[in-house]
Structures are given as C-alpha cells and as structure tokens.
Amino acid sequence: MEDAYRAGKLRAIGVSNFHPDRLMDIKAFNEIAPAVNQVEVNPFQQQLESIPFMNDIGVQAEAWAPFAEGRNGLFQNEALLAIAERYGKSVGQVVLRWLVQRGIVALAKSVRKERMAENIAVFDFELDDADMARIAALDTNTSSFFSHRDPAIVKWMSERKLDI
C-alpha cells in the first residue's frame, strides 16, 4: 500500500478495527501511517481508550455503525430521547452531533433522501457539557456486533471471499 501511495495511486491509507496496539505496530514498521481508522463507535461502544490514542498519533477516527444498527434500543433510549427533545432534533441527529463534537467522522448509512438530509443537519446546534456527559454514561465498552480481537472472528473474517 505504501508503494501505491508513493506512486500516486492512493490519496491516503486507511485501516479498520485497529486497536491501539495494532496501530502502534503499523506505525512502527511502516513509513506511512494510516490517515484513518474505521472503528465501531456509538453511544454504547465509545472507544474511550482508542479515540484519544488515535488523536495523539494523528489518525482520524471514523465511526462505522454510529447508530449501532438500532441495537440495544438506541432509538428508544430515554436519555437520548430526552436530549433530542430538548434540541428539537432526532436521536440520530443527536448521536451524529455527539460524534462531530468528539472529532469523529461518522458514516451514517441511508438510502432515503429525507434521512440523508436529516443526517447532515447536525451543524446548527451544539450539545452542552451535561448532555455530552449523559451520552458518555451510556458506554458499556462492548461491541454491539462482535469482538475484532476474538481469534474465531478474525479467522472467519479472513476466510471470506470478496467479489471485487
């Protein structure tokens, strides 16, 4: 990937699901550090260790599944509903704004124009410290999906074939 980057075939190198120890490995044994690391970040999995580490080493955090695919009752969560009502926003907008305020790029999947418009309308308000703290209190430090450090999961993922 570094050769492709140097040849101008890539604008940046990115990784997914790299924990701090893996990021240190890639930085220590490569000349070009990743520009971005896609990790699961949502109110229930806030990556409280990983995000500050990425910030310290200059790797942009990018949240995949910022809504946890609606798992754990995210859109019915009382704290998130109360915050959303206070600002006249949706729970999704509150979550996306929370990510923006933490300096995290969010990938919010949608195929509906009205939802896309809603998802981008998060720059006309700011969550106060109390609301940021309420969301911080939701962290369980547990994936809503699976552990990327589980050898069985890593093996399963490595055996998947991609049609490119």
- Of all residues in the chain, what percent carry a pLDDT higher than 70? 87
pLDDT at residue 147, as a whole number: 57
Q: Determine if the pTM surpasses 0.75.
A: yes
Q: With bands split at pLDDT 50, 70 and 90, how would you rate the model's confidence at 65?
A: confident
The domain limits of the chain are 2-139
In this predicted model, which residue has the larger pLDDT, 158 or 41? Answer: 41
End-to-end CA distance of the chain: 17
Q: What is the mean pLDDT of the chain?
A: 89
pLDDT at position 141: 76
pLDDT tens by residue, 33-61: 999 999 999 999 999 999 999 999 999 99
Of the listed ranges 12-26, 75-89, 139-153, the least confidently predicted one is 139-153
Q: How many CB atoms lie within 10 A of CB 161?
A: 5
pLDDT at 111 (0 to 100): 87
- The region of weakest confidence among 74-88, 119-133, 144-158 is 144-158
6-10, 19-23, 148-152: the lowest-pLDDT one = 148-152
pLDDT at 109 (0 to 100): 81
Task: State in words which class domain 2-139 has.
Answer: alpha beta
pLDDT at 152: 66
pLDDT at 158: 72
